[in-house]
């Protein structure tokens, strides 16, 4: 025998493990394991002795050991672009609540839009043996996905990722919400509408932009390439984009942003330039983060439900974990819809007789 369990060392307190519980309850470790895993065939007398010992010792099972032998970590990965963009914490919160309700915990990865960091995150997910991963960021490399496939770990993309199998992509209906936004502006009399996209290396940014252009067209409006600016989904990108527009010889009267942080950046730039929202510019955001209700003035925006996103992502993952259930392959899209607040109004220099602005939509999630 090379190494032996150290003999009863009176100086160090005894380790609290399954063996300790077993000996205190005067049963075998197998019975302890069965009890705490709620296997129904345990004698109630022994079970109560076990529970007594568990609470007496304040015992928690070791997750590592448990995962090692069972091959299931009960951990779900969530990879997002940037944790400091308030949209993602909201998503994370929903994701966590739903995961916990389903008996899982979550491991968060934030890529900060860097490919390198993305790789580190994916690697971490792999190393920690997550049971599934939801990915809401751009630019994951194929070899990483292959490794997920090799380890039989299901993944789901939130946002289109066309090169992936269908069952691993959760489509968001960008068009519906943006169309409502364009219509809303058109009804108010806007004819010149700009769009601030996210970083165009990102597929979802491209989709939102494409959705905007398509909506514009079906509303019968013309796109002006000068008013299509690439942002970065963050405050500073929004501010910079607005400054670029203000430097242009002709301005749009309304601007749609591909996320709320960008819109808040625009609001700030307009404030700095002494221009007023919605009197000088109408603004529409995207996401409907909590903060959108509190900007000055409150932001009209397209709501995408974090809860729906999280639920669908987790259910997708979980359904693929247990092949017994029929995967059902529902191809429905995540819905989006316009929430009208106060950053949209009549276009500048217009005195047409137009319908009153509807009141602020009450927030209900």
Of 43, 101, 115, 123, which one interacts with its own copies (CB under 8 A)? 123
Q: Which does residue 163 bind out of DNA, its own copies, none, counting CB within 5 to 8 angstroms by kind?
A: none
User: For 307-330, b where at least 16 C-beta lie within 10 A, e where not — what string?
Assistant: eebbbbbbebbbbbbeeeeeeeee
CB of 108 to DNA, least distance (A): 23
DSSP assignment of 5-36 = PPP--SSSPPP-SHHHHHHHHTS-HHHHHHHH
Cα–Cα dist 278/299, whole Å: 10
Residues 125-154 that bind its own copies (CB under 8 A): 126-129, 143, 146-147, 150-151
Burial class (CB within 10 angstroms; exposed 0-12, middle 13-18, buried 19+) of 221? middle
**Sole residue written with tokens 């448990």:** 66
Residues in 237-256 that interact with its own copies by CB under 8 A: 239
Task: State the binding string over 12-51 for DNA (x if CB under 7 A, else -).
Answer: ---x-xxx-------xxxxxxxx-xx---xxx-xx-----
Question: Are the C-beta atoms of 155 and 148 separated by less than 8 Å?
Answer: yes
Residue 88: contacted member of its own copies, DNA, none (CB under 5 to 8 Å, by partner type): its own copies
Judged by beta carbon distances under 5 to 8 A according to partner kind, the member of its own copies, DNA, none in contact with residue 37 is DNA
Whether residue 314 is preceded by a cis peptide bond, meaning omega within 30 degrees of 0, is no
Report, in Å, the least distance between residue 37 CB and DNA.
Answer: 5
Closer CB to its own copies, 26 or 290, in the complex: 290
By CB under 7 A, tell whether 166 contacts DNA.
no
Report, in Å, the least distance between residue 88 CB and DNA: 31
Nearest to 131 by CA among 72, 80, 64, 68: 72
Contacting DNA (CB under 7 A), which of 51, 66, 173, 206? 66
**Binding site residues, DNA, CB under 7 A:** 1-6, 15, 17-19, 27-34, 36-37, 41-43, 45-46, 59-62, 65-66, 68-71
């Amino acid at each position: 025998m090379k190494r032996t369990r150290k003999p009863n060392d009176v100086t160090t307190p005894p380790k609290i493990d399954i063996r300790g519980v077993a000996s205190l309850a005067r049963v075998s470790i197998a019975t302890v394991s069965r009890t705490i895993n709620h296997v129904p065939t345990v004698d109630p007398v022994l079970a109560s002795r076990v529970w007594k010992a568990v609470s007496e010792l304040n015992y928690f099972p070791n997750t590592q050991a448990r995962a090692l032998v069972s091959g299931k970590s009960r951990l779900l990965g969530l990879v997002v672009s940037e944790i400091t963009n308030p949209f993602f914490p909201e998503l994370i919160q929903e994701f966590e609540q739903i995961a916990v309700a389903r008996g899982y915990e979550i491991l968060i990865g934030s890529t900060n839009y860097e490919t390198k960091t993305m790789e580190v995150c994916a690697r971490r997910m792999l190393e920690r043996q997550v049971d599934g991963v939801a990915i809401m960021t751009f630019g994951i490399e194929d070899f990483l996905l292959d490794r997920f496939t090799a380890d039989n770990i299901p993944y789901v993309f939130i946002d289109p990722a066309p090169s992936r199998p269908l069952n691993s992509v959760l489509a968001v209906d960008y068009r519906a919400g943006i169309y409502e936004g364009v219509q809303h502006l058109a009804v108010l009399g806007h004819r010149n509408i700009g769009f601030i996209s996210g970083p165009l290396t990102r597929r979802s940014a491209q989709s939102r932009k494409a959705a905007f252009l398509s909506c514009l067209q079906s509303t019968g409006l013309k796109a002006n390439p000068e008013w299509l600016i690439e942002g970065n989904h963050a405050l500073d990108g929004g501010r910079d984009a607005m400054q670029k527009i203000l430097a242009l010889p002709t301005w749009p009267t309304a601007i749609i942003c591909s996320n709320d942080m960008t819109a808040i950046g625009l609001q700030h730039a307009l404030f700095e330039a002494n221009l007023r929202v919605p009197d000088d510019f109408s603004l529409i955001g995207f996401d409907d983060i909590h903060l959108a209700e509190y900007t000055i003035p409150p932001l009209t925006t397209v709501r995408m439900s974090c809860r729906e996103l999280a639920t669908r992502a987790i259910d997708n993952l979980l359904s693929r974990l247990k092949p017994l259930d029929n995967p059902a392959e529902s191809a429905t899209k995540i819905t989006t819809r316009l929430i009208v607040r106060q950053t949209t109004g009549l276009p500048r220099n217009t005195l047409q007789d137009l319908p009153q602005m509807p009141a602020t939509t009450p927030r209900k999630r």
